[in-house]
C-alpha cells in the first residue's frame, strides 16, 4: 500500500492530531479543502471552513479553546476516496472546564493524495453544554 492510499492519509492525519503537529495536519489538506464541524454557535470552532487558510484558523481555535485528553480510534473503514473513522474522545472546554466524553464519527473524502473534505458528526448538544456560558469553573 502506498502512502497516498486514502486510509493511510487519514491515519497520518490522526497521528498528527495526537502529536499536536498542525503543520503536518494542514499539509495533508488540499488547497481548496472544506472542513465542516456542525453545532451551536457559542462553540468557537463550529462552522464551515473553506481553504487551507480558513482551516488553519480552525486548528488554531481548537488548540486555544479545547484540550484533547483522549482520542482513541475505535474503527476505520473506507472504500475508494471515502474514509470513515469512529473515535472515542474525551476533551475539555478550556473556558468552562467542562468535559466532553463521546463517540464521534469523522468522514473524509480524499482526492489527489490530499484531504478534500472532512466532516465531524458528534453529540452537538453535549458540546454546546460544555461551552454554555452558565457553566461554573471546576478544579481538575
pLDDT in tens, 115-128: 999 999 998 888 88
- Judge contact between 130 and 99, C-beta under 8 A: yes
pLDDT score recorded for residue 136 = 57
| 3-class DSSP assignment, residue 119 | strand
Parent domain of 101: 6-130
Burial of 49 (0-12, 13-18, 19+ CB in 10 A): buried
Q: Is the dihedral of CA 134, 39, 53, 113 positive or negative?
A: positive
Q: Is residue 136 part of a domain?
A: no
Q: Is residue 35 part of a domain?
A: yes
Burial of 23 (0-12, 13-18, 19+ CB in 10 A): exposed
**What gap in Å lies between CA 76 and CA 100, rounded to an integer?**
22
Q: Is residue 14 part of a domain?
A: yes
Alpha-helical segments (H) within 1-140: 6-19, 22-27, 52-65, 124-130
Look-up of cell digits 476516496: 81
Q: Is residue 20 part of a domain?
A: yes
Q: How confident is the model at residue 137 (pLDDT cuts 50, 70, 90)?
A: low
Q: Is residue 1 part of a domain?
A: no
Q: What is the Cα Rg of the chain in Å? A: 15
Global confidence as pTM: 0.88
What's the chain's average pLDDT?
89
- Judge contact between 87 and 69, C-beta under 8 A: no
Q: If we measure between CA atoms, which residue out of 118, 126, 64 comes closest to residue 90?
A: 126
Q: For residue 134, what is the DSSP state?
A: T
Q: What is the CATH number of the domain that holds 16?
A: 3.10.450.50
Taking only the tens place, the pLDDT of each residue in 75-106 is 999 999 999 999 999 999 988 899 999 999 99
Q: How many domains would you assign to the chain? A: 1
In this structure, what C-alpha cell is assigned to residue 116? Answer: 478534500
Query: Which one has a higher pLDDT value, 133 or 113?
Result: 113
Amino acid at each position: 500500500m502506498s502512502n497516498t492510499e486514502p486510509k493511510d492519509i487519514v491515519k497520518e492525519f490522526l497521528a498528527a492530531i495526537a502529536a499536536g503537529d498542525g503543520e503536518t495536519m494542514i499539509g495533508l489538506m488540499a488547497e481548496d479543502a472544506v472542513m465542516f464541524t456542525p453545532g451551536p454557535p457559542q462553540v468557537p470552532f463550529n462552522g464551515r471552513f473553506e481553504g487551507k487558510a480558513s482551516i488553519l484558523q480552525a486548528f488554531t481555535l481548537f488548540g486555544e479553546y479545547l484540550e484533547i485528553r483522549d482520542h482513541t480510534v475505535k474503527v476505520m473503514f473506507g472504500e475508494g476516496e471515502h474514509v470513515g473513522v469512529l473515535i472515542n474522545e474525551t476533551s475539555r472546554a478550556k473556558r468552562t472546564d467542562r468535559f466532553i466524553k463521546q463517540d464521534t464519527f469523522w468522514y473524509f473524502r480524499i482526492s489527489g493524495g490530499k484531504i478534500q473534505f472532512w466532516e465531524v458528526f458528534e453529540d452537538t448538544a453535549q458540546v454546546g453544554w460544555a461551552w454554555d456560558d452558565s457553566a461554573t469553573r471546576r478544579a481538575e
